[in-house]
Structure 1
Amino acid sequence: MNGFLYGIALQWKLDIRSKSMLVTCYIVPLIFFLFMGGIFTSVMPEMRSTLIQSMIVMSVSMGAFIGLPPSLIETYGSDVKKVYKANGVPLYLGLVTMFLSAFVHLMISSVIILLLAPILFEATLPVQLPFFFLALAIYIIVSLSIGSILGLTVKNQAKLTMIAQLVFLPSIMLSGIMFPIELLPDFLKTIRYIYPASWGYRLMLDYGFHLQNLWYLIAIFFAVIIVCGIILKKQKVK
């Protein structure tokens, strides 16, 4: 247990020094929040009631889909994996520590947005804060699980960047945080349900925490656990 906690603390320190995690979990999302928050609330004042949820969806999606996978490639796509095997360290340990460290970073970034939005843009705080934070935690976990799949399966950094963008951009554009869903064509309204951002956004809205918005995220999470287990088992055999 002490070794596990030490691994998490060590990964936390590495992530703090990582330019990729710093940019994708803090700098870019917070700049986007500061810049677009003023625009959204000026053009559409009614967005003050959903601004916090919208900006958090963007922040979490970027950190999970673009920030986490490169860190996984550095471990599971390099000789670091051999060091794990040579020292009898379970292969899943690296994934778990990176996952938990990224979770903490994304939660901190989300709390910053939650605290600043009412002050800077007169955004409305969530009515049910306990349910909001529970929904946020679930959305972060599911998003990071998808990022984990990307980091474990794509071995080339250039390909990873392209695939991560193909996941990230539709997640943001089709989730309803940029413009009303009613403006989308019918086929895009259907496609948007593939991406967890749409479900996470609805789950975090006031009175949105119920099974109708939760079941898909749970299904994705358990499916990802199975896939990650299979991938790590194959890597252990190699």
Structure 2
Amino acid sequence: MSAFLYGVFLQWKLDMRNKGVLLTYYVVPLVFFAFMGGIFSSINPEAKNTLIQSMTVFGVTMGAILGAPTPLVELYGSEIKKAYKVGGIPLWVAAVNNFISAFIHLYIMSLVILLIAPLAFDAKTPENVALYFLALGIFIFVCLTVGTGLGLLIKSTSKLTMVSQFIFLPSIMLAGIMFPVSMLPKVLATLSRIFPATWGFKLLTSKDFDVNILIPLVVIMFVSIYISYYKLLRINLE
């Protein structure tokens, strides 16, 4: 257990030194929050009611889809994985360490938004903070399973950039954080249901723990975990 915890801590330190990952975990989400938070609250005062949730969905989605897969591609797409095999370390350990480290980073970033938004933009704080923290943890977890699947499936950073953007941009545009999903054409509204950001926004803005919102997230999570598990088996055979 001590070796495993050290691995998580080591991954944490590596993330803090990785400028690309640090940008997607903290810098870009918080700069976007600082810039767009003022615009949203000025143009539409009603946006203050969901400003925290909107900016959190943006930040978590960016960190999980654009940031978290990068260390995995750098590891599993290189000769570093051979060092794991030589040292008798299971290859899944690196993926789990990266997952836990990313989870902590994204939770901290989300807490910063939660604390600053009411002071800076008079944003409305969630009525049930405990429920919000639980929903936030579930949303981050599901998004990171998707990000982990991407990091294991794709072997080059150039391809990862294209695929991640292909998932990230529609996630943000169709999730309902910019404008209500009801304003979208029926085809796009239906398409939005495949992205965890859509269900995450609904879960974070829900006053009750709605199982109907949780089910799609669970489905996305299990599909992503299965893909990751299958890909790790293939990597072990390479």
- Common fold by TM > 0.5: yes
Listed as ranges, the gaps of 5+ residues in structure 2 are none
Pair 1:117 & 2:117 matched: yes
Per-residue CA deviations over 1:10-59 (Å, capped at 9, x if unaligned) read 11111111101210011100000000000001111001110000000000
Residue 197 of structure 1 corresponds to: 197
Residue 47 of structure 2 corresponds to: 47
Moved over 2 A (4+): none
Alpha-carbon contact 1:26-1:109 (below 8 Å) kept: yes
Per-residue CA deviations over 1:83-133 (Å, capped at 9, x if unaligned) read 000110001000000000000000000000000000000000000111111
Partner amino acid for 2:59? S
Per-residue CA deviations over 1:123-171 (Å, capped at 9, x if unaligned) read 0000011111111111101101111111111112111101100000000
Q: How many residues align?
A: 238
User: 1:52-131 to 2 correspondence within 5 Å?
Assistant: 52-131=52-131
Partner amino acid for 2:61? S
Residue 211 of structure 2 corresponds to: 211
Separation (CA, whole Å) in 2 of partners of 1:121 and 1:136: 21
Q: TM-score, normalised by structure 2?
A: 0.98
Residue 230 of structure 1 corresponds to: 230
Q: Sequence identity of aligned pairs in percent?
A: 50
Shift of 1:208: 4.5
| Secondary structure at 1:125 match in 2 | coil
Q: TM-score, normalised by structure 1?
A: 0.98
The two structures, once aligned, show a CA RMSD in angstroms of: 0.8
Alpha-carbon contact 1:128-1:206 (below 8 Å) kept: no
Alpha-carbon contact 1:21-1:68 (below 8 Å) kept: yes
Separation (CA, whole Å) in 2 of partners of 1:146 and 1:208: 25
Alpha-carbon contact 2:21-2:70 (below 8 Å) kept: no
Listed as ranges, the gaps of 5+ residues in structure 1 are none
